[in-house]
Structure 1
Amino acid sequence: MARAPTRDAVLKGMRAALRLQRDLGLDQGAARGHRVDVFGSIYRQNVPLLFRKLEPLLGAYLREGGNPGIILTTRRPLGQQRFTAAHELGHHVLNHDPHADDDSILRRSPDHARDYINLPPAEQEADAFASYFLVPDWLITALMQRHHWTPQHLQKADVVYQLALRVGASYRATLYALVRNRVIGAGIRTQLVKAQPATIKRALVPDYPIGSTQNIDVWHLTERDEGTVIEAGRDDLFVVKLREDSNAGYVWNFDELEMAGFAILKDGREQVTEGVVGAPAIRHVLARASDATVHGVYTLWERRQWAPDDNPKRWSFDYRPVYSHDAGLFRPSFRHAGVAR
């Protein structure tokens, strides 16, 4: 007999996710505006987390001799790894039996009954847990407010992709969360799901060649990202666009980024208003981190060289490199902000 997704299963998974967020303080204070630390949350539950080159499995929840454990593949993009991690954490929190998961967990949605034919209730619960734990409604709201994104903005694939980077979920999972939160309708989601993230990434850096985009994300950073936590993969690219009053002598300085190990690949300016004398420009920089770039808060200053202390403007972000494509046991550290092993 076919099993449709049950309201009870979804509610059970949702409530467990919200309860754990509260218990770990993930929805409080400064943490409320940043992506949920799913790997760190697993660690704080005293569950060993191991990364291995699994294929075709994405992950598994284990109980050996009554001791829990989670294994994740290193062969998937970070957003998919994080969703799988949240799914396996759901199995643990909800006291489910051991289970191995393939990529079918990425293709199904709780609002599509046909995706849940013959699916055990435990899987429905773990899916709901993962969705609410990884992309809670309050995080979507906080990010929309920070970036001044309206529901109309989130009808564009490139904006949804940037939201997905900041919540730390896959593009598809973010679309589902937007429908769940009633930011967009199911019809808009049907259209947006046709967009390919690889195409979106290449469009952000049209003059910079990218080979495989599987483990590369492209962040579009603006002044609205001031103070944000950026958890990025080692090969990610950063398109930084900052308003610059260069006609008044103010210039952004990127020396701190270069000294920290970031490579400045391109540097230029775009006029905000063509043909208007004295109009500000947009400083447009393409950067990439390196293996030597460590966790830290980096600050850029817009100053006049002859009067560096005269009303300077600052822009900072908290950079946290993620090494989830290296095999090994997860161990949080201050150096790599909870993702070094």
Structure 2
Amino acid sequence: MNWDVAHRIAGIAAIQAHRDLDVDRSTYVRVHGALGAAGLIGMAKSMPRLFGVYRSPDDGGPAVLLNARLDVITQRHTAAHELGHHRLAHRSAYDNELDPSLRWGNGSWPDEEKVAEAFAAWFLMPRPAVLAALERIAGGRPTAPEHAYLLARALGTSYTGTVRHLARLSQVDRGRAEQWLKITPATLKRSLTRGAAVSPDAHVHAVTTRMHGRRLHVDAADLLVLHPPGALIDRLPEALSLWPEPGDRIGTSSLEHPTIVEVTHGMDTECRLALSVPGTDEPLEVTLVRESPRSGIDEIWP
């Protein structure tokens, strides 16, 4: 089976899964909740090599085991991959070293793994959610790799997987997608922070006027770049700090030097960030939701 066939099968299966599991296709997909809604027993524990494990009903399942050592984005993708195995009635699977950023499309994947991998992309990035996020980020189609990176942040997906999916959705041509894939996320993070060095483990999010009323999924050490020119932070939540140095004043954004705030480990589940923007009567409000890697049994389902 080639990847085009795998994606055709997976795309249909993902739409059916969204319908059956009552998943909102217009926004960030809560994949761990979907696993629970699908009736899967699940847990996450530290494992040295495995990304995840799916146990079929024939082997005492259905159940999923995720690697608690994975970062948020990789664990979300793995959870969707294992859900794909379940929804497509696959055999039990032990997914190790199937890293799409290293081995994508090299012919070594078994057919069931190809379809499960494609399912993860379509499940986490449904077309309505992609188009809605692109409207906020780019005013329509993406024209720069930074748009693809910010789309990945909005959907909780990897930059590489998001660029490939944009090509699948015909939002960028394949030639441009291949060019963007040569650009590292580290380069894009420097671009978004105006040249600042960002931790490899941190993600960068852009807060614009189009984000008003939205929920932004973040984790500790992530950075929020405040783009509205002249915006003032009404009150900096305790879970956030000015970056790179807090200083003794509340930041003001400009096009040349946007204010950047960092999510601290003090953030529990969510907090609200409010900005006063010149020329508007109402504050710009964004709800930040901490999306950390799941661990154990009780914490795997939200």
TM range (shorter): 0.7 to 0.9
2:275 aligned with 1:313, yes or no? Answer: no
Match of 2:133 in 1: 143
State whether residues 299 and 314 of structure 1, in contact with CA within 8 Å, keep that contact through their aligned partners in structure 2.
no
Map 1:117-128; keep pairs closer than 5 Å: 117=108, 119-128=109-118
Q: RMSD of aligned C-alpha atoms? A: 2.8
CA deviation after TM superposition for structure 1 residue 299, in Å = 4.8
Q: CA deviation at 1:63?
A: 4.2
Q: 1:178 aligns with which of 166, 169, 172?
A: 166
Cα distance, 1:87–1:330 mapped onto 2, change above 3 Å: farther
Assess if the C-alpha contact under 8 Å between 2:228 and 2:277 holds in 1.
no
| Cα deviation code 1:20-54 (max 9, x no counterpart) | 112233236xxx2x211111111222223322222
Q: How far off its partner does 1:322 sit?
A: 1.6
Are 2:14 and 1:26 aligned?
A: no
Could you tell which deviates more after superposition, 182-191 or 77-86?
77-86
- Contact 1:48–1:330, Cα closer than 8 Å, also in 2: no
Task: Give the ranges of 4+ consecutive aligned residues of structure 1 lying more than 4 Å apart after TM superposition.
Answer: 206-209
Percentage identity across aligned positions?
24
Shift of 1:283: 8.1
In structure 2, the partner of 1:307 is none
Give the match's secondary structure for 1:313. Answer: coil
> What per-residue deviation string (whole Å, max 9, x for no partner) do you get for residues 252-284 of structure 1?
3431x33x42112362442x6xxxxxxxxx883
Query: Is the Cα contact below 8 Å between 2:233 and 2:252 reproduced in 1?
Result: no
Could you give the per-residue CA deviations for residues 203-252 of structure 1, whole angstroms, max 9, x where no partner exists? 333575434x1x311111111111111111122111112233xxxxxx63
Matched-pair contact (CA < 8 Å) for 1:241–1:283: no
Select the structure of larger CA radius of gyration. 1
Residue 81 of structure 1 is matched in structure 2 by 75
Alignment CA distance shift 1:220-1:103 (3 Å) = farther
Select which of 17, 41, 49 maps to 1:48. Answer: 41
| Structure 1 unaligned residues grouped into runs of 5+ | 245-250, 273-281, 305-309
> Which letter does structure 2 place at the counterpart of 1:331?
E
2:274 is paired with a residue whose SS is: strand
1:210 to 180, 198, 203: 198
Tell me, yes or no, if the aligned pair for 1:155 and 1:188 is still in contact at 8 Å. Answer: no
Unaligned 5+ segments in structure 2 are none
Matched pairs, number? 294
Where do 1:222-233 residues align within 5 Å?
222-233=208-219
Tell me the TM-score normalised to structure 1 length: 0.76
2:261 match:
287
Among residues 225, 228, 234, which one is paired with 1:254 in the alignment?
234
- Which residue does 2:297 correspond to in 1? 329
